[in-house]
Amino acid sequence: MTEVPIERLGPAETRAVAERIAWAFHHLDVTRWLVPDEAKREAVLADNFEILVDHAMRHGIVHGTADRSAVAVWFPQAGEPAPPPADYDARLAAACGEWTPRFQHLDELFEANHPHADHHHLAFLAVAPQRQGSGLGSALLRHHHAVLDAEGVRGYLEASSERSRDLYARHGYRAAEPFRLPDGSAFHPMWRDPRG
């Protein structure tokens, strides 16, 4: 199999990465709960994700395929966690409007379920809908897992669908007990131990 070229992305691509994630996540059960209005969902998600991608450009690692049809956002977490995004509460309210309480609820769930051991947190892995199933997500995972394996670091993520949970399981992640949004939509916390 030909390896997909992967590039590290910089701050100039923050908005484009946020929009790629929003487009890829638009039809997930969890995002339907976050923003019930389908006509507004993608724009609200992009505005929210832009806060987090911007933060990753400063404190994390953002990779993309050469054509940017797939992106991955990682946060290394060792010792003291990175500071929260600047002016987060105000930016979240501006991005999410009437749905801000739902995003705050999700943040609380993530915080309550997030591990404290050293790891790299895969916050987002997103592939353009028309390219899903073509191996781009796997290529992004292999690219960063090579670093984790070389450094002996664990990987952690919250899979937002059964399909993504199954993808991550194929890459060595083990699922823990899911946590759920009020409508029953599940996130699956998953760990991967380094190999080699």
- Distance in angstroms (rounded) separating the CA atoms of residues 94 and 174: 36
Tell me if 85 sits within 8 A of 54, measured CB to CB: yes
Amino acid at 185: S
Q: Is the pLDDT of residue 2 over 70?
A: no
- Distance in angstroms (rounded) separating the CA atoms of residues 104 and 110: 10
- pLDDT value of position 142: 96
What are 11-46's pLDDT values in tens digits? 999 999 999 999 999 999 999 999 999 999 999 999
Tell me if 161 sits within 8 A of 28, measured CB to CB: yes
Q: Is the pLDDT of residue 3 over 90?
A: no
- Distance in angstroms (rounded) separating the CA atoms of residues 14 and 17: 5
How many degrees, rounded to 5, is the angle at CA 176 between CA 88 and CA 18? 35
What are 139-172's pLDDT values in tens digits? 999 999 999 999 999 999 999 999 999 999 999 9
How many CB atoms neighbour CB 125 within 10 A?
Answer: 25
- pLDDT value of position 115: 85
- Distance in angstroms (rounded) separating the CA atoms of residues 189 and 12: 31
Q: What is the mean pLDDT of the chain?
A: 94
Overall pTM surpassing 0.85 (yes/no): yes
- Say which CATH topology domain 6-192 has: Aminopeptidase (3.40.630)
- Distance in angstroms (rounded) separating the CA atoms of residues 97 and 107: 16
Residue that wins the pLDDT comparison between 28 and 81: 28
